[in-house]
Every structure is written in structure tokens, then in C-alpha cells.
Amino acid sequence: MKSLADKERLPREIVAMRVAKELPDGAYVNLGIGIPTLVSSFVPEGRTVFYHSESGILNCGPIADEGEEDIDLINAGGQFLQRVGGMSFFDSAEAFAMIRGGHVDVTVLGSHQVSATGDLANWMLPQRGVGNVGGAMDLAAGASGVIVAMEHTDRNGQPKIVEECTFPLTGKGCVYLIVTDLAVIECDGKRLTLKEVAPGWTPEEVQQLTGARLTISPDVKEFEL
């Protein structure tokens, strides 16, 4: 019998696609590095989403083509962007006024760990002794809350969803939705509710790879895209 560790999980693109479904029409969205970066490619037809980046740009265009890179036009993840109509530039103080002031509607971040109460730990691995916080803490503190998009377990197969974070926190109780390659989990600050599971996975199997207790939603279903 195959162990759970070897069982097929969803590709990153599907995780990103599932997150994209959560973005309301007209929303201002900040996407972190990793799986979140992919989300912009999967916004459902008919919806318009505006991207904000801490590098000081709003209404970011698509990623620049090779050979067209402009060092004066980047997003916070270090990708070069295309020039599009409707974008605007501003300084760092204003970029973060938008985040902290509750003007950015949705933030999608990757994470090392998420706790049962929605704590986020994504900026520092203790063994390195030093970490890059960048804009993550400001995004976590932004009024709108955070969607986490990540793999369900780390490279060593350890659960990334845990009862309490053991890595340094980015923000307390700021995560309201977790989308992984195995599950969609709602977080209300008190408990984690399993809403959707990857095709071929049972709620019990997802629980086995989760370090915190999951409340299984009575209408738990397969990933809806």
C-alpha cells in the first residue's frame, strides 16, 4: 500500500486557480512570492482584479516578455512588468499606507506555518538566524486579512498547518483561508474547518497530514474550480 506521502497532490497551478476564485470583481489584490504569484493567471473570465505591489505600483500589468525587461518597472517579487494603461507609481510610504489602511482588499501569501488560530509564520526559518521580513508583516496586519496558498507539508513531509507555530510569527490571527495542494480550510480564529479536499483524498487523510485538529465541514466536497 502506498503511503500518504507518495499519493498524488494537486499541482501549484490548480492551487493558484482555486485561490483566484476567491478574488471578487474589482478587488485590489496583493500577491506574495511563490504560488501566490501564479494566481493572477487564473482570474475567472468576466472578473477584473487590480494588483498592488509594495514596489510602488498599482494596476500592475502582466509580466514583461524576455528582452523587454525594464529595471524601473518591477513588482515586489522581482519580476519585470509590462507597461499598461491605468497603472500608477508612488513611494514606499504610500504603498504601505494602502496596505495598513485597509485599502488593499485581498492579500495572498505563501507560508512556512499556519496555526489553528490563524497565526502566520512565513518570514524566518529559525535555523538561519536571520530572515527577510520585507512587507509580509504589514500585509498580515492589513485590515483585510490573508489567504495563504502553500503546499500542505514541507519538504520533509512535516505538516505546515500546526496547532501552534514554532517559527517566528508574521502576524497573529490574520489568516482566514488556507488553500493547499490537498485542501481548502477556513479559519475563523478559533478553529480550522475543512471545506474541500483534493480529488482522491479523504478528509481523514488530510487530517493525518495536518498538525492541527480540523473540524470537518458537514458539506465537505472535492476542490471546486
The sign of the dihedral angle between the CA atoms of 124, 125, 126, 131 is negative
Segment near another protein (CB under 8 A); pick from 1-9, 55-63, 205-213, 215-223:
55-63
Site size with another protein, rule: CB under 8 A: 82
Q: In three state form, how does the secondary structure of the chain look?
A: CCCHHHCCCCCHHHHHHHHHCCCCCCCEEEECCCHHHHHHHHCCCCCCCEEEECCCEECCCCECCCCCCCCCCECCCCCEECCCCCCEECCHHHHHHHHHCCCCCEEEECCCEEECCCCEECCCCHHHCCCCCCCHHHHHHCCCCEEEEECCECCCCCECEECCCCCCCCECCCEEEEEECCEEEEECCCCEEEEEECCCCCHHHHHHCCECCEEEEEEEEECCC
Does 55 sit near another protein (CB under 8 A)?
Answer: yes
Per CB under 8 A, the list member of 35, 104, 108, 178 interacting with another protein is 104
Min dist. Cβ of residue 155 to another protein (A): 13
Residues 107-146 touching another protein, rule: CB under 8 A, are 124-125, 128-138, 140-143
List the one residue out of 28, 17, 24 whose CA is nearest residue 46: 24
Candidates 22, 45, 54, 69; catalytic one: 54
201 binds another protein (CB under 8 A): no
Query: Should residue 7 be labelled a site residue for another protein when binding is judged by CB under 8 A?
Result: no
**Residue nearer to another protein on the CB measure, 138 or 196:** 138
The answer to whether 54 is a known catalytic residue is yes
Residues 9-28 vs another protein: string with x where CB under 8 A?
A: ----------------xx-x
1 binds another protein (CB under 8 A): no
Does residue 34 interact with another protein by CB under 8 A? no
> Minimal distance in Å, beta carbon 100 to another protein?
3
Q: Which is nearer to another protein, 55 or 210 (CB)?
A: 55
Q: Which stretch binds another protein (CB under 8 A): 73-81, 176-184, 190-198, 213-221?
A: 73-81
- Where in the sequence numbering do the catalytic residues fall? 54
